[in-house]
Amino acid sequence: MAEVIPEYVIDNPLECIFWERGANDTYQVRCADACYFLRVYRCGAFTREANEFEAQVLSYLHRKDFPVAYPIARVSGGYLTEVSAPEGPRIVLLTAAAEGAPPDYDSMENCRLVGESVAQMHLSSDGFETNFTRSRLDLTGLLKNSMVYIRDYMAHRPEALSSIEKIAQDTCAVVKAVPEESLNAGICHGDLHGGNMHIHEGKVTHFDFEECAFGYRVYDLATFKWGGACVGSGKRGVERWLAFLEGYESVRELSESEHTVVDAFVIMRELAELAYGIRHIRDFGHNGIMATDIDYVCYRLDKLISAHP
């Protein structure tokens, strides 16, 4: 990292420490009067074009005065640095820190604030344009592409695979039953599970846009509903979801179709997450943060369908 940090436009870096390992490796960079986070993407996790797309989205939202952990420019221009590693080339992105602390989802006011900020993010990104492309968050990107990985991975478990195929077909049918134009489309965060944001003095700052893409905005709402703050939390989870939804619709009202399909997108989120875990079993294993144990996967899907029939 000692060779990478001088590539960026920051003043007087004092310390760089390994912060955490999740989907990527993250380092904290401390300067005399500021703090930054340096993300080192896993080799092959995303294309460089996808990383460029993310950096452009963050930069655009920052220019629109929407609070995000915005990218820091390189001295030579651009935002991305490529470094060599034993497993192959890895991409580096440096961003500002997101001030504050994770939301307290036992606070309904925090849930409403998060909902408001997500709607504001959607509105703020409406004018975004780019020449970079990546898979869209729609039926093809979330469901069709995910099932390619799932079929290959579960071929030795035909009964379990048949059950998941039926779930995918039913989910697809729910979405196809509503007019496509009734589903608001544009830039989505893509990983809005409830943990990729901080709140400070009533302001929500979003980060970790690595899965952002054009797609149906209802997917962001479904991902929040899928996340730990709501799913599996009983009555309290329902209250959190309704407070989040109230906050969101105070800024952007959902269509009747979006209300109809949100639970179908919860199921799609689960299938997309399974496919992501399958693609990265080498990094996460079968029981890590992207659990891919087949019996556990079937158990989770049964629970989700029971909660979101």
> Does 306 score more than 80 pLDDT?
no
Distance (Å, whole) CA 287 – CA 176: 33
Sign of the C-alpha dihedral computed for residues 166, 170, 175 and 176 taken in this order: positive
DSSP 218-278: HHHHHHHHHSTTTTT-HHHHHHHHHHHHHHHHTTSPPPHHHHHHHHHHHHHHHHHHHHHHH
Pairwise CA distance, residues 249 & 256, whole Å: 12
Q: Does 108-307 match 5-96 at the fold level?
A: no
The residues pairing with 87 across neighbouring beta strands, listed in sequence order, are none
Distance CA 207, CA 263 (A): 25
Residues 6+ apart with CB under 8 A from 122: 184, 186, 187, 188, 217, 220, 252
Alpha helices in the chain (DSSP H): 48-63, 108-124, 145-153, 158-176, 218-226, 234-249, 256-279, 281-284, 294-307
- Read off the pLDDT of residues 19-54 as tens digits, 9 standing for 90 and up: 998 888 999 999 988 999 999 999 888 999 999 999
CATH domain 108-307 topology: Aminoglycoside 3'-phosphotransferase; Chain: A, domain 2 (3.90.1200)
Would the CA dihedral through 166, 179, 241, 205 be positive or negative?
positive
pLDDT at 99: 94
Would the pLDDT of 227 be above 70? yes
Cβ contact 110:198 at 8 Å: no
**Burial of 207 (C-beta count, 10 Å sphere; 0-12/13-18/19+):** buried
Whether 205 shows a pLDDT value over 90: the answer reads: yes
Domain ranges of the chain: 5-96, 108-307
* Residue 117 · residue 189 · CB < 8 Å: no
CATH class (in words) of the domain with range 5-96: alpha beta
Question: What tokens appear for 273 in the block?
Answer: 């997450």
Q: Which amino acid is at 283?
A: D
Please name the residues in contact with 281: beta carbons below 8 A apart, sequence gap of 6 or more. Answer: 292
Q: Would you place residue 144 in the very low, low, confident or very high pLDDT band (cuts 50, 70, 90)?
A: very high
92-106 b/e (C-beta count within 10 Å ≥ 16 → b): bbbbbbbebeebebe
The CA-to-CA distance between both ends of the chain, in Å, stands at 48
Tens of pLDDT, residues 114-133: 999 999 999 999 999 999 99
Contact of 222 with 138, CB cutoff 8 Å: no
Residue 64 has pLDDT above 80, yes or no: yes
In 3D, which of 56, 84, 50, 82 has the Cα closest to residue 68? 56
* Residue 235 banded pLDDT, cuts 50, 70, 90: confident
Nearest Cα residue to 178 out of 268, 93, 294, 259: 259
Q: Report the percentage of the chain scoring pLDDT > 70.
A: 95
